[in-house]
Amino acid sequence: EDKVVQSPLSLVVHEGDTVTLNCSYEVTNFRSLLWYKQEKKAPTFLFMLTSSGIEKKSGRLSSILDKKELFSILNITATQTGDSAIYLCAGGGSEKLVFGKGTKLTVNP
């Protein structure tokens, strides 16, 4: 059965810290790895990764995929309180996305 495992499940840091969120996947007919940020409402799209070794970057956030080892990481540098959210990783395979349980990030002032 397809599965996506995220770690850690929760993380508490101080503003300015750098964090790394992990995602490992086992997805049949894998095509893409997606990261979403969920605050109070709907998950909002951050990145989609399809190729190994190519970093995607958006401001202080970056992500990379390793298709050989079947994992991805999401880095957030110089964290801010507004980064507090649940970060969801999802693997796209045969017809659907399989989501991990998320990492709850809390950034304290």
Partner 1 sequence: DTAVSQTPKYLVTQMGNDKSIKCEQNLGHDTMYWYKQDSKKFLKIMFSYNNKELIINETVPNRFSPKSPDKAHLNLHINSLELGDSAVYFCASSQEGERTTYEQYFGPGTRLTVT
Say whether residue 1 binds partner 1 (CB under 8 A). Answer: no
Gap between the Cα atoms of 34 and 81, Å rounded = 23
Say whether residue 58 binds partner 1 (CB under 8 A). Answer: no
Q: Which CB atom, from 98 or from 107, has the smaller least distance to partner 1?
A: 98
Pick from 65, 90, 105, 107 the residue near partner 1 by CB under 8 A. 90
Say whether residue 92 binds partner 1 (CB under 8 A). Answer: yes
Gap between the Cα atoms of 77 and 41, Å rounded = 24
Q: Beta partners for 71?
A: 24, 66
Pick from 38, 62, 75, 84 the residue near partner 1 by CB under 8 A. 38
DSSP 82: G
Closest contact distance (angstroms) between CB of 103 and partner 1 is 10
Q: What does the block give as tokens for 95? A: 């017809």
Say whether residue 60 binds partner 1 (CB under 8 A). Answer: no
Looking at residue 108, its amino acid is: N
